[in-house]
Chain A
Amino acid sequence: MNNADILMGTNLSKRFDNLEVVKDVSLTVKEGEFVSLVGKSGCGKTTLLSLLSGLEKPTKGKVILNNKDITGASEDELALFRRDHVGFIFQSFNLIPTLSAWENVALPLFPIKMTGEQRSRRAHDLLNQMEMGHRIEHLPGALSGGEKQRVAIARALINNPKIVFADEPTGNLDSVTGEAIMAILNELHKKKGMTMLMVTHAEELAASADRVIRMKDGEVIA
């Protein structure tokens, strides 16, 4: 394994009951790389992302993430691994409705021993970077889709992740807002050198990535 490889999936398969959704997929992402994963709806993109990010265990194959083989890890070990090394951005934002913007950003830090002020400061800094300084105390219900996704991006960055996994980050947004979010992600990659794996079914969004991986019926075709 090359030292620069931060994520490596080998011969990954995932089967739900009789349905093999991911079929013998191998792929590698290098440190600092922005990779997009494209394919038609239902071809297995989200499933592959959940295998690579340690949200789900593969039926076959193995995953090495940040030099650690996470294939045999327990549920709690995976949770701790995600907490320390991985950031997530989802299509449907997945914010906690009862918590304010900054509390949502700080959520991954709640179980970590640190002062409330440290958590709060870090969350505030990230929200300011996302130009969300004026929405810090708002509940998600009071935010627009684009604003929610900015909060979610701030949350994905709070643990200084080695890699960010994004599943259709603009899928719930209109095109103008979607472009703004893509601009933030591109900037994260270009200016901060963030490693990213982004799932999308829109070719034009995939084009801004360093590399495009195409899937069809559970297999990588290019």
Chain B
Amino acid sequence: MNYRYIWKEIRHHRHRTLVNVLGIAVGIALFVSINAVSAAYQNAISLPFKNIGADIVVQRAEKRSLDAVQPPASMRGIRLPFSNQILSSQDMENLKTISGIDTMATSLLLWEFDQGGFKTIMGVDLTAPSLGPIKVKDWLAQGRFPEKTGEAVLEKHFAKFHQIKLGDTYRISGQSFTVVGLLEIKEGSQVASANIYLALADAQSLLVGSTRDINIAYLHMKDPAQIDKIKTEIAKILPGVTITSSDSFLELMGGMSQISGQFSLVVSLVALAGAIFLIIKTMIGNLVERSREIGILKAMGWTNSDVQKQLIGETFLQSIMGGFAGIVAGYLIAYLLGYLSIPIATPWELNLTPAFAKMAETSAKTIHLPVSFSAVLTAAALALSFFAGGLASYFMGRRMSKMKPADILRKL
């Protein structure tokens, strides 16, 4: 193969090369960006659950189960959220009989209403270090997480709004707590976002008449593929509880999120196939323009396979350039889209703030698309640009073999 000649052809016919390279680049960029964004959506939807390390969350909603649009007049003080009534110790015993559950953690979520509004209080089980709302300790901005009773961590913005600093004493319903840390709720963590985090025992002592009550159970599976099976089992054993998993987000969200991985793969492959088809057409058009050149080569004693090697060299060089450009552009587009915030609709039961509180933290509800580099996707894109080059070479070769050397004798 003569690299000099290949390179000269590519360089000399800049316009031709640019069209071919761009064509392949557009196809590959579409392929990469569609798949990267689709993967990011799938990822975004699983984020709320991933952030608390849980596969399934179990809650028991109030019997009449209607989220009041107006706060009832009698709602002063500490109370249980509508969607989070007590899970009895019998409930918990029943849960433990289900096989396939790896670890389990619990929490007690409380609302406190006063004349100033409301706050959400999360009693965290400090004994299960990697499951449930305790995971928010990764996002401490200052100080540390409670280690014993009498200590509290406040959400940063909430603390700022109430002018509370680290080390201050904070009173909830007559009890005093030392503020040992401030934290910032990260994107996609509405499942664990509260204003105040306490040791579970402290939260229990705030709720009048409660000793060891909890109202949310977080389950981590041994095998994530078993989630659906275990959800049905829980529904059978604990009638009336609400059971949520990542899928619950998927059901709520329309648009891109409903586009499955396979579907976006098909769409992007169709787009790519269209681009490849157009490129092959232009390349064959170029080849016909070059029929005199091909004739010269053949007259000079180049065999069909000699000419074919030259065409393969030129085509692959352009495909590879197009492939690389397309991969770069595709990720660029995907990452740019990642700067956009997409709203994540939260299932009602998992929205820990009262539904009538419109000021619910927005940062927890919108999320930047977590676009990430995928080696598999990149390799697939490269393979596809090679495939495009191979296909184009094949069709060009068929066309080229029909060109006769004698024709050049009559062309001026």
Contacts and interface: CB of A to CB of B under 8 A. Distances in A.
Given A96-B293, A98-B12, A99-B5, A55 B301 contact: no
Given A94-B296, A98-B9, A107-B297, A80 B303 contact: yes
A50 B298 CA distance: 13
Contacts of B301: 79-84, 86, 108, 111, 159
A96 B12 CA distance: 11
Interface string A32-72: 00000000000000100110000110000000000000000
A110 B4 CA distance: 10
Interface in B292-330: 292-293, 296-306
Interface string A106-118: 0110110000100
Contacts of A111: 301-303, 306
A62 to B, nearest CB: 18
Contact of B408 (A75, A86, A90, A116): A90
A82 B411 contact: no
B406 A50 contact: yes
Interface string A165-194: 001000010000000000000000000000
A135 B408 CA distance: 25
Interface in B1-20: 2, 4-5, 8-9, 12-13
A98 B13 contact: yes
A76 interface: yes
B300 A107 contact: yes
Contacts of B302: 79, 83, 108, 110-111
B404 interface: yes
B213 to A, nearest CB: 83
A110 B299 contact: no
A112 to B, nearest CB: 9
B208 interface: no
A43 to B, nearest CB: 14
Contacts of A110: 2, 5, 302, 306
Contacts of B5: 98-99, 103, 110
Interface in B370-412: 404-406, 408-412
A56 B409 CA distance: 11
Contacts of A96: 293, 296
Contacts of A88: 299-300
Contacts of A108: 300-302
B31 to A, nearest CB: 32
Chain B interface, >50% SS class: helix
A91 interface: yes
A155 interface: yes
A141 B136 CA distance: 72
Nearest to A46: B409
B317 to A, nearest CB: 14
Contacts of A10: none
A88 B298 CA distance: 12
A26 interface: no
A58 B409 CA distance: 16
Nearest to A55: B406
A79 B303 contact: yes
Interface in A88-145: 88, 90-92, 94-99, 103, 107-108, 110-111, 116
A103 B4 contact: yes
Contacts of B296: 94-96, 107
Contact of A98 (B2, B8, B300, B408): B8
A81 to B, nearest CB: 8
A84 B293 CA distance: 20
Interface in B184-201: none
Which of B292, B296, B406, B409 gathers the greatest number of chain A CB atoms within 10 Å?
A: B409
Interface in B260-302: 292-293, 296-302
Contacts of B300: 82-83, 88, 107-108, 155
Interface string B25-53: 00000000000000000000000000000
Contacts of A94: 292, 296, 299, 408
Interface string B171-188: 000000000000000000
Nearest to B305: A76
B409 to A, nearest CB: 5
A95 B408 CA distance: 11
Nearest to A82: B301
Which of B299, B300, B303, B406 gathers the greatest number of chain A CB atoms within 10 Å?
A: B300
B47 to A, nearest CB: 54
B292 to A, nearest CB: 8
A19 B395 CA distance: 33
A110 B404 CA distance: 20
B253 to A, nearest CB: 55
Contacts of A99: 5, 8
Contacts of A55: 299, 405-406, 409
Nearest to B3: A116
B410 A46 contact: yes
Interface in B130-156: none
Nearest to A83: B301
16 contacts: A56-B406, A76-B303, A79-B304, A79-B306, A80-B303, A91-B412, A96-B293, A98-B5, A98-B8, A98-B13, A99-B8, A103-B4, A103-B8, A107-B300, A110-B5, A110-B302
Task: For the complex of A and B, list the 10 residue pairs with the smallest distance between their C-beta atoms, beginning with the closest.
Answer: A83-B301, A98-B12, A111-B306, A56-B406, A55-B406, A108-B300, A76-B303, A82-B301, A110-B2, A50-B406
Given A94-B408, A111-B301, 7 more contacts: A46-B409, A55-B405, A75-B304, A80-B303, A91-B412, A98-B5, A110-B2
Interface of A: 46, 49-50, 55-56, 75-76, 79-84, 86, 88, 90-92, 94-99, 103, 107-108, 110-111, 116, 155, 159, 167, 172
